Amino acid sequence: AESAPKPHVAFLASPGIGHITPLYELALRLVTQHNFEVSFLVINTGSSPAQNNYLNSNQHPHIRIVDLPPADHSDPSLFVIVQESILPLRSVLSSLNPQTLKALIIDIFCTGMFEVCKGLSIPVYSFFTASAALLAFSLYLPTLDREVEGEFVDLPEPVKVPGCNLIKIQDLLNEVRNRKSDEYKWFLFHASRLSMARGILVNAWDELEPVSLKAIKSERFFNKISTPPIYPIGPLTKHIESISTNYEKEIMAWLDKQVQGSVLFVALGSGGTLTSEQLTELAWGLELSRQSFIMVVRKPNDTADAAFYSAGGTSDDPKVYLPDGFVERTNGLGLVVNSWAPQIAVLNHPSTGAFLSHCGWNSTLESVKHGVPVIGWPMYAEQRMNATILSNEVGVAVKMPVLGDGGEAVLVGRKEIERVVRMVMEGEEGKKIRSRAKELEVSGWATLSRGGSSYETLTKVTELWKLD
Ligand code: UDP
């Protein structure tokens, strides 16, 4: 038995650090805890230093990274790049010895693999790396698409997914706000195909999203919408990163000198960019609040996710984008970081007291796992839904009023920013969400440990794979 080969699974992730990380962290769990061998297929657009650094610094002898060249295509849309890049994958899969592959695990944008895998008898599983609420919405979207005429954003009432909390029109994700757009068509395409998977893993657990998870697993949802088994295995997040560059060391050394729980960490994900006007107000708001902060600053842009593909790339001196004299005036109180911070290390540091976040799902889970309350500043994709889950359902966040009634971004002034920051750093509301965040932190780690529900669920899935 000693020489019996380890069971082998393959992963396919679409580009972007936020997409790669949860799949890779699952791969790491499979090799370290469940004795698997992994081939990890990445569509490498070559333009994200953050993605490359992450994969390089987390190599594992039982994970083979297979870089797939992106399709040569002039259309920069993520959906098109992914779809065209995976069409030639049949030969790559064949070279992996498909008879011995126990499963292929894909993310939501890689559903084109169902065709590619036809006839290869590899069971395909989807790892839904966003919330269970978005999973429920996505499974229900084909029904909504049939039943609703006109735009969802014009509906007079919130959207009701069976058994789930209502979704305010304001919070609907970008991808479904214009049904005539290509973005909508692609999203619907992938959502409709989710249920072709043999099973769907989701990066959540009961205590974080009790209502949505109960709904998707219930008979009622199941009868109405044909759904494969759902396996909540979260919160899988990037584990603590090693601090290697001088730049990172400086950030950590600065944090070491601050008072426990006193620092607000401001970072808007891998892609988030503010308009120049909004960045100015944010800087003034922080300055007026007189709270300690670390602010990740990028070149302003009118498109909210302008940095998505180039995440982690360095840009010019961020000072030039900030109000005149800001850096000098806040010297000692705040630290301005250029483009990218070691987010996990910062969240894990005892000096960090709150996180002003765009509420991407990875950032959301990371804040929860490190017990840090959130000021929600949603920007793109489904972040408005996430911010609402955190504030209204989970009770670990306060939302910055960055949205108009129609869900459009509105300029938040410095006074308002000052008020919200003070409320979270010094006020009663801050105390409440901080203590709830500490509770969830315990629950998040417990569910991933032996005997915890996410741990046991993943074990059950791996046993299925080993049998296959
Ligand atoms: N991140 C980071 N440093 C930064 C900004 C982001 O390490 O300065 C990481 C963060 O820890 C998270 C990922 O990038 O793992 C962003 O994923 P998320 O789902 O939050 O948002 P996305 O960037 O996909 O919108």
User: Average pLDDT of 341-355?
Assistant: 97
Ligand 1 pocket: which of 362, 367, 382, 390 to mutate (most atoms <8 Å of CB)?
Answer: 362
Alpha-helical regions (H) of 396-427:
414-426
Ligand 1 pocket: which of 24, 343, 382 to mutate (most atoms <8 Å of CB)?
Answer: 343
Cα–ligand 1 centroid distance for 338 (angstroms): 14
Catalytic residue among 34, 62, 72, 107: 107
Q: What is the pLDDT of residue 293?
A: 98
Q: What is the pLDDT of residue 15?
A: 87
363 within ligand 1 shell (Cβ under 6 A): yes
Cα–ligand 1 centroid distance for 312 (angstroms): 10
174 within ligand 1 shell (Cβ under 6 A): no
296 within ligand 1 shell (Cβ under 6 A): yes
Question: What is the C-alpha to C-alpha distance for residues 235 and 361, in angstroms, rounded to an integer?
Answer: 10
Using DSSP bridges, classify how beta strands 101-106 and 63-68 pair: parallel, antiparallel or unpaired.
unpaired
340 within ligand 1 shell (Cβ under 6 A): yes
Q: What is the ipTM of this complex?
A: 0.99
pLDDT for residue 2 is more than 60: no
Cα–ligand 1 centroid distance for 363 (angstroms): 6
pLDDT digits (tens, 9 = 90+) for 102-155: 999 999 999 999 988 888 889 999 999 999 999 999 999 999 999 999 999 999
Nearest residue by C-alpha to atom 2 in ligand 1: 343
Q: For 233-242, 300-309, 331-340, 426-435, which range has the lowest pLDDT when averaged over its residues?
A: 300-309
Give the chain's mean pLDDT. Answer: 92
The structure tokens listed for 289 are: 């609040």
Cα–ligand 1 centroid distance for 280 (angstroms): 22
15 within ligand 1 shell (Cβ under 6 A): no
Q: What is the pLDDT of residue 99?
A: 76
pLDDT for residue 39 is more than 80: yes
Q: What is the pLDDT of residue 36?
A: 96
pLDDT for residue 50 is more than 70: yes
On the question of a cis peptide bond just before residue 235, with omega within 30 degrees of 0, the verdict is yes
- Displacement of CA 133 from its chain's centroid (Å): 13
Q: For 313-327, 383-397, 440-454, which range has the lowest pLDDT when averaged over its residues?
A: 313-327
Q: How confident is the model at residue 259 (pLDDT cuts 50, 70, 90)?
A: very high
- Asked if 34 is an active-site residue, the reply is no
User: Average pLDDT of 293-312?
Assistant: 82
Q: How confident is the model at residue 200 (pLDDT cuts 50, 70, 90)?
A: very high
pLDDT for residue 174 is more than 70: yes
**C-beta atoms surrounding 337 within 10 Å:** 22
pLDDT digits (tens, 9 = 90+) for 80-101: 888 888 887 888 888 888 778 9
Q: CA angle 274-310-238, nearest 5°?
A: 90
* Cβ–Cβ < 8 Å for 34, 459: yes
Question: What is the C-alpha to C-alpha distance for residues 309 and 173, in angstroms, rounded to an integer?
Answer: 20
- Asked if 19 is an active-site residue, the reply is yes
24 within ligand 1 shell (Cβ under 6 A): no
pLDDT digits (tens, 9 = 90+) for 51-65: 888 998 999 999 999
The structure tokens listed for 193 are: 């195909």
pLDDT for residue 285 is more than 70: yes
Q: For 6-10, 167-171, 314-318, 343-347, which range has the lowest pLDDT when averaged over its residues?
A: 314-318
Nearest ligand 1 atom to the CA of 359 is 20
Question: What is the C-alpha to C-alpha distance for residues 108 and 114, in angstroms, rounded to an integer?
Answer: 12
Catalytic residue among 8, 19, 349, 370: 19
User: Average pLDDT of 66-76?
Assistant: 76
pLDDT for residue 374 is more than 90: yes
Query: Using the 8-state DSSP alphabet, how is residue 451 labeled?
Result: T
Handedness of CA 292, 392, 185, 83 (dihedral sign): positive
Nearest residue by C-alpha to atom 7 in ligand 1: 343
pLDDT for residue 404 is more than 80: yes
Handedness of CA 21, 69, 173, 50 (dihedral sign): positive
Cα–ligand 1 centroid distance for 202 (angstroms): 18
pLDDT for residue 321 is more than 60: yes
Q: How confident is the model at residue 4 (pLDDT cuts 50, 70, 90)?
A: confident
From 84, 121, 32, select the one nearest 24 (Cα to Cα): 32
Q: Over the range 123-135, which residues count as b (16 or more CB within 10 Å of their CB) and which as e?
A: bbbbbbbbbbbbb
Q: What is the pLDDT of residue 314?
A: 60
Cα–ligand 1 centroid distance for 223 (angstroms): 36
273 within ligand 1 shell (Cβ under 6 A): no
171 within ligand 1 shell (Cβ under 6 A): no
Cα–ligand 1 centroid distance for 380 (angstroms): 13
Burial of 442 per CB tally in 10 Å (0-12, 13-18, 19+):
exposed
pLDDT digits (tens, 9 = 90+) for 209-257: 999 999 998 877 777 778 899 999 999 999 878 898 999 999 999 999 9
Taking CA atoms, 377 is separated from 134, 304, 335, 384, in Å, by 18, 11, 20, 8
Which residues, including other chains, have CB under 8 Å from residue 203's CB and lie 6 or more apart? 22, 127, 128, 129, 130, 131, 233, 234, 235, 236, 361, 365
